[in-house]
Structure 1
Amino acid sequence: MMHPEIATLAELDRALTDGRSLRGLRLQDLDLRGREGELLAHRKIEGLVVLGGRLSPALDAHLRAEGALIFPTDPGLPVNPYRAHLYRPTELYNGLVESGYAATPDAHAYAWSQDPDRRRDAYATLITAIHDDSILDALDELVVRRSVVGVMGGHAERRGTTQYARAAHLGLRLADRGFLVATGGGPGSMEATNLGAFTTNSADLDHALTQLARAPEFADGIDGWALPALRLHHELATDPRTSTRSLGVPTWFYGHEPPNLFGHWIAKFFSNAIREDILLARCDAGIIVLPGAAGTVQEIFQTATHLYYGRSTRQPPLVLVGHEHWTTTIPAWDVLQRLADGRAMSSAIHLVDTVDDALDVVGDPVD
């Protein structure tokens, strides 16, 4: 039996006014104090589950007495494990301007996850699992009925380089075609691609590239790297509720790499293994792989595993960009070809030299 999740007060109001029972509903991360009167009138609500949110002691006691299951919020945690929506970059970087990156929610979450005592704590393990499941649920709601193209690439690509600019223009052109552009959400090629998709025209993108080139890499200091990006985010932002073109899917596992500020939404996970599989599996319109190193190679072969065992004859393309890089510097292409020999995946893998070639392979979204 499906248990409907209610993640907005508008959805709750509809449930309250249509007279149906609250049994089996999941109220996720809602401030219920303004609906206390209506909720106090409901009796025998076994199966109602309240996930986080805010409610008065009187409402808490009433719901429990009538059979509801309450999962309270823990204000001591650096994240809300029951959140119903993805992160916005400005949320993760709150406090950056006033106090620096170390004071941001993103930095606090990473420090909490790396605490040796927390890592051996069953409660902390449960919280991170609930959080990641909540983020997955919100991510799936975002990508439904969207054609998603993933762009993978190295985190070390410096702002101001030709390769960074090419990745950015790739992101812009993919988003202009109607794709939702997804990356691993970090710096380097990932940031460049998210930046391109975040902008809506070449003039704004070229302006952004010029501004960001003054702070080439996060290794020189996260504050100096993030501050110009935050200013550009505010300057270029469109409402993500009406225009979502750019998605970042980073992880606190690599917390030393800060998330970039150019996803309209950020799906950030504690578990990198879950995050990797989720990101790649939801790129239903294809994956473009720019030059990278170990992490990028992992993504190539994780995707290849799905293609290798896939039964469909129409598989989304896996496009490696950079003949010399993927045949000589890191000869992943040779392994891919050997895996694909005689299998359906042979028609899904491509090696091209330019992002223009990659765009030709991906084509346009399918209605």
Structure 2
Amino acid sequence: MPRPRQGRVREIESLAEFEEVALGGSFAGCRVQGLDLTEHTFTLLVADTREAVFLGCLMEPQALAHVRANGALVFPPVPGLPFDPYRGRLYAPEELYARLAVDGYAATPDALTYRWFQETSGDGDVLSSMLRSIHDDAVSDALDELLAGKGVVGVMGGHALARGDAAYDGAARLGRDLTRAGLTVATGGGPGAMEAANLGAYAAPFDDAMLGEALTTLAAAPDFRPSVGAWASAALTVRERWPDGGPSVGLPTWFYGHEPPNAFAAHIAKFFANATREDGLLSRCTAGVVFLPGAAGTVQEVFDAATPNYYESRGEPVPLILVDHAHWTTHLPVWPLLEALSADRPMSRRIALVDSVTEVPAMLAKLSA
């Protein structure tokens, strides 16, 4: 009978961690994710691997046979996949856009994974479905590890907002201001308002002039249509000119794979399941959510965030701020419904409607007090 484990299971996600644990001679009960262990055969042959789980790790046949015989559970790599379902870390822009400059967007891991998703999502194959679920769970775990203890503020808004638009510039300034206030900006990770907020977070460590110059560079490729390659290359050019920008998080999805991930989120949690992505984003916004003008997707997000506030299912309600009075009261009258829903409930003290992104930081501080 398996021994009960006490406390959090040790996850090993890098060779440095693997070598550190190896010094103690035991991997018993550990979770080892996505590592090439072909150069560590001797370590695996002499170490205790009882109840260890190896997820997608490469091993020499001798080591593989030994750890299995010693009581480890091994999930081998799956050949032919354009992604690692067992990954122990989030994506970086450079990873998703690898080979862009050489072979174009169609050859990037992002595009290849979207193609795989299109080919398998409707085929009813339980293996494909399982691999997508394992991947999304691994990414969720990595996201939790990254955001533990951080004040996360979500910035939601339409994907159609073009670079060069005044509203895009405003969303970028908002992301910069929130990051400079010590918060971690999280977005849906795509183009439009999402990219603008991640760009602003990236610009936070630099002087104010940098953002203006970056916006001018990006405006030359205002949309990801007709060329994702040109759109992404403009962002990567900005990153190369100003390396080591501020961190932020993006949560895009291959469910909407025709919308590419933006390159300004330092940490990208890309999911196959859009429902996992949506709830995963909003549930982690512990410091509040800002809603810029948007359409159906943004409206859905308003009420996805309002529901746990209403029921207090995640504890104290978090601030929800809608930006642009005319948009949210006349064009899409979400605000009156949100007000009515929150009447006589604690969440009523945590919602606000403002006219401009410049009002958001002060309002967020007020609602959080």
| TM-score higher than 0.5 | yes
State which of 9, 21, 29 in structure 1 corresponds to 2:34: 29
Residue 331 (1) aligns with residue 336 (2): no
CA 262–364 in structure 1, closer or farther in 2 if over 3 Å, else same:
farther
Question: In the alignment, which residue of structure 2 is the partner of 1:8?
Answer: 14
Residue 229 (1) aligns with residue 229 (2): no
* Displacement of 1:219: 2.1
Q: Any idea what SS the aligned residue of 1:33 has?
A: coil
**What is the distance in 2 between the residues matched to 1:160 and 1:77?**
37
**What is the distance in 2 between the residues matched to 1:185 and 1:277?**
14
Question: In the alignment, which residue of structure 1 is the partner of 2:256?
Answer: 254
Q: Which moved more, 1:190-199 or 1:25-34?
A: 25-34
CA 158–312 in structure 1, closer or farther in 2 if over 3 Å, else same:
closer
Amino acid at match of 1:205: L
Q: Are the counterparts in 1 of residues 201 and 246 from structure 2 also a CA contact under 8 Å?
A: no
Amino acid at match of 2:353: L
Q: Are the counterparts in 2 of residues 147 and 365 from structure 1 also a CA contact under 8 Å?
A: no
**What is the distance in 1 between the residues matched to 2:363 and 2:278?**
23
1:248-307: per-residue Cα shift (whole Å, max 9, x none)? Answer: 110001101111110011000000001100100101001011000011111100001111
CA 75–219 in structure 1, closer or farther in 2 if over 3 Å, else same:
same
Question: In the alignment, which residue of structure 1 is the partner of 2:138?
Answer: 134
**What is the distance in 1 between the residues matched to 2:43 and 2:120?**
45
Amino acid at match of 2:337: V
**What is the distance in 1 between the residues matched to 2:175 and 2:147?**
17
**What is the distance in 2 between the residues matched to 1:60 and 1:305?**
48
Q: Are the counterparts in 2 of residues 178 and 365 from structure 1 also a CA contact under 8 Å?
A: no
Question: In the alignment, which residue of structure 1 is the partner of 2:306?
Answer: 304
CA 308–229 in structure 1, closer or farther in 2 if over 3 Å, else same:
same
State which of 209, 216, 219 in structure 1 corresponds to 2:222: 216
Question: In the alignment, which residue of structure 1 is the partner of 2:54?
Answer: 50
Match runs of 1:185-200 below 5 Å: 185-199=189-203, 200=205
Amino acid at match of 2:182: G
Amino acid at match of 1:29: G
Residue 178 (1) aligns with residue 143 (2): no
Q: Any idea what SS the aligned residue of 1:115 has?
A: helix
Amino acid at match of 2:232: A
CA 250–192 in structure 1, closer or farther in 2 if over 3 Å, else same:
same
CA 135–117 in structure 1, closer or farther in 2 if over 3 Å, else same:
closer
Q: Are the counterparts in 2 of residues 312 and 344 from structure 1 also a CA contact under 8 Å?
A: no
* Displacement of 1:244: 5.3
CA 299–47 in structure 1, closer or farther in 2 if over 3 Å, else same:
same
Cα root mean square deviation, aligned? 1.8
Q: Are the counterparts in 2 of residues 180 and 244 from structure 1 also a CA contact under 8 Å?
A: no
Q: Which moved more, 1:98-107 or 1:121-130?
A: 98-107
**What is the distance in 1 between the residues matched to 2:181 and 2:367?**
7
Q: Any idea what SS the aligned residue of 1:77 has?
A: coil
**What is the distance in 1 between the residues matched to 2:115 and 2:108?**
11
**What is the distance in 2 between the residues matched to 1:96 and 1:115?**
22
**What is the distance in 1 between the residues matched to 2:194 and 2:251?**
10
**What is the distance in 2 between the residues matched to 1:4 and 1:17?**
15
Q: Any idea what SS the aligned residue of 1:34 has?
A: coil
Q: Any idea what SS the aligned residue of 2:336 has?
A: helix
Match runs of 1:134-173 below 5 Å: 134-173=138-177
CA 146–65 in structure 1, closer or farther in 2 if over 3 Å, else same:
same
Amino acid at match of 1:204: M
Question: In the alignment, which residue of structure 1 is the partner of 2:294?
Answer: 292
* Displacement of 1:311: 6.0
**What is the distance in 1 between the residues matched to 2:131 and 2:10?**
22
Identity %: 49
Q: Are the counterparts in 1 of residues 253 and 274 from structure 2 also a CA contact under 8 Å?
A: yes
1:64-107: per-residue Cα shift (whole Å, max 9, x none)? Answer: 12121111111311110011110001110111111111111101
**What is the distance in 1 between the residues matched to 2:121 and 2:291?**
38
Q: Are the counterparts in 2 of residues 185 and 263 from structure 1 also a CA contact under 8 Å?
A: yes
Question: In the alignment, which residue of structure 2 is the partner of 1:340?
Answer: 342
* Displacement of 1:34: 2.7
**What is the distance in 2 between the residues matched to 1:365 and 1:82?**
40
Please give the TM-score of this superposition, normalised by the length of structure 2.
0.93
**What is the distance in 2 between the residues matched to 1:313 and 1:124?**
36
* Number of equivalences: 360
Q: Are the counterparts in 2 of residues 317 and 361 from structure 1 also a CA contact under 8 Å?
A: no
**What is the distance in 2 between the residues matched to 1:244 and 1:316?**
24
Q: Are the counterparts in 2 of residues 167 and 193 from structure 1 also a CA contact under 8 Å?
A: yes
Q: Extract unaligned runs of 5+ from structure 1.
A: none
**What is the distance in 1 between the residues matched to 2:84 and 2:313?**
39
State which of 87, 95, 106 in structure 1 corresponds to 2:91: 87
Q: Are the counterparts in 1 of residues 121 and 129 from structure 2 also a CA contact under 8 Å?
A: no
**What is the distance in 1 between the residues matched to 2:92 and 2:321?**
29
Q: Any idea what SS the aligned residue of 2:225 has?
A: helix
Question: In the alignment, which residue of structure 1 is the partner of 2:109?
Answer: 105
* Displacement of 1:364: 9.4
Question: In the alignment, which residue of structure 2 is the partner of 1:349?
Answer: 351
Amino acid at match of 2:36: D
Q: Extract unaligned runs of 5+ from structure 2.
A: none
Amino acid at match of 1:136: S
